[in-house]
Structure 1
Amino acid sequence: MPNTPKIEIYTKWGCPYCYRAKALLDSKGATYEEFDVTMGGPKKAEMMERAPHHSTVPSIFIDGAHIGGSDDMAALEASGKLDAMLAL
């Protein structure tokens, strides 16, 4: 299997933006680790520590780099840059 990037996504239950971001990753066949921060807790604190200027979900990281949220990932897709990031 080729080397694939580590994708992490922080989400909340019922979040339409989270659903959209995961659907895009799923459509690409990307595997990701999802952290539900609906109830706050340590993972919410971790998300805030990793991306202090991004307090909303989804909060998406590819190979440790914060790419932003659903709209940011959609913009990467529209510009043709997302595929390259997912094929590392």
Structure 2
Amino acid sequence: MAQVTMYCTSVCPYCVRAEMLLKQRGVAEIHKIFIDRDPEQRAVMMERTGRRTVPQIYIGERHIGGFDDLSALDRAAGLVPLLQA
């Protein structure tokens, strides 16, 4: 199973939904980076992704985007193969 990293905040409903979807697809562990607890990580996230919103999800080194992007990838049957790569 590929490493999943998610930039998130403690009170983000889309982060919770993204985590639920990933777990439904077999992800046992998500490396979470809480940008509300570590403001320096917000700058790192914005530099890496070019985006300001959370969640920002990486599968391996591939930037997936936010929850809507993750959900669209799943609906297109691309999420599980990417997780298993």
TM-score (norm 1): 0.88
Report the equivalent of 2:8: 11
Of the candidates 39, 42, 45, which is equivalent to residue 41 of structure 1?
A: 39
Which one-letter code corresponds to 1:74 in the other structure? S
Report the equivalent of 1:58: 55
TM-score (norm 2): 0.91
Q: Could you say what the CA RMSD is over the residues aligned between the two structures, in angstroms?
A: 1.2
Point out the structure with the larger helix share: 2
Task: Identify unmatched segments of 5+ residues in structure 2.
Answer: none
Secondary structure of 1:13's counterpart equals: coil
Shift in Å, 1:29: 2.1
Task: Identify unmatched segments of 5+ residues in structure 1.
Answer: none
Shift in Å, 1:40: 5.0
The share of aligned pairs that are identical, in percent, is 36
